[in-house]
Structure 1
């Protein structure tokens, strides 16, 4: 391989980031796999994705309106903490000003 200028490519280890053993109150799943809605700003879903960069991991929290399937709030940061998700939620609320009540569904990882 060395003569040909080839090198083995190693994979990065999988990193578990969801802490299911936290002491926070668990909230029941009100969405219950019903991903259709009749009006905008009634049901929102959110999640976090991890983006590898040359400087380390970039964490991106997004909030999507299930009616339009549009991303209505997002935040990125180099730290994975609750501020990341709360900031994305604040931005979505400021941007859309949803009527009360509405449902915000997440996997409760943070």
Structure 2
């Protein structure tokens, strides 16, 4: 059984442009950095209306904002996804109020809408 975890970022607006989308997905999320690090999460997807609109890999850095409006929120350096389980274009029946969650990949795949 595949126990790889995916970080799911749910967006509440459609963002035009690949660079703007990557910038939005990489910044200011309320999730525990230890969760991402200890569970070895490297795959990040951006979802809009339950459809994956972008696939990323966490690159070489991630951290917390220490001050300002985003204090306590997590940021990531992202690059285009380079793994073997791309999810871009897939739709999932995945409902959660939290905009940043993690899910085991095999469990997420069971929620795919075909």
Q: Same fold (TM over 0.5)?
A: no
TM-score tier after normalising by the smaller chain length: under 0.3
Structure that is richer in strand per residue: 2
Normalising by structure 2, report the TM-score.
0.25
Considering Cα pairs closer than 8 Å and 6+ residues apart, tell me whether 1 or 2 has the greater RCO. 2
Larger radius of gyration: 1
